[in-house]
Structure 1
Amino acid sequence: AIFGAICLASRLSSPFHAFVLLEVAAVYFALGPILLAKIRSVPLLVATVGVCCYLLLQLSMTIFWTYMCVLAFVNGFCPLLFVRLQRHKNNIHGPWDEAIVSDFREENGSASSI
């Protein structure tokens, strides 16, 4: 991701804009995962969802139920569907696959031909 930001920064008009883009990329892609690992906790998640639900209830019952349905769909139904559909997954082999190197002994049929 940092390499992508460097490639994009080369297309910007000024060094200032390039520096800002690289700084934001460093914060999001290099330091962001460290911050997320430190603040990721179940109590914080429950508190955030609870506050969001409370504020949505104050705003509108329709928006609240839409939010709850989307939340249940994205966090419940989609992963369940993904796990259940894994057995129907096909592996397509083609020229884009890595090369499989066969053993020389297997090609000739015996080990004595070496």
Structure 2
Amino acid sequence: MTEADELLRRQLGACAAIYHDDPRLKYPMKYHLILEFGLICTPAVYPSTWAAGRPGMCYANAATLAKRRDLTYVEGFALLASGMPIDHAWCGDFSPRVCQSNGSVSLSALSQIRW
């Protein structure tokens, strides 16, 4: 596990610690679910021959890319270069490298659940 992978896990753990409002729920927030079942993946270089998606539209971009390129649509968390985890969507082939749905986003690590 890389330093970025560890940082992402720590950041998600800190977010999860904030949300424990309902003791009836095993996974009160997606942070908890991803910490238990998530996979850490390595962001791949976005192919220069593919059209980039629109910035700020990762969910729509990833859905479109998955359909066009026969990839798997994935949601999870991405670690920005600043160390901040963000909700994000992308495409993957689980090799464990994954493709971004927009080549302009610089990420250090990704955590996801494969359904």
Q: Flag whether TM exceeds 0.5 (same fold).
A: no
Highest RCO, 1 vs 2 (Cα 8 Å, sep ≥ 6):
2
Which TM bucket (shorter chain)? under 0.3
TM-score for both structures, normalised by structure 1: 0.24
Select the structure that is richer in strand: 2
Select the structure that is richer in helix: 1
TM-score for both structures, normalised by structure 2: 0.24
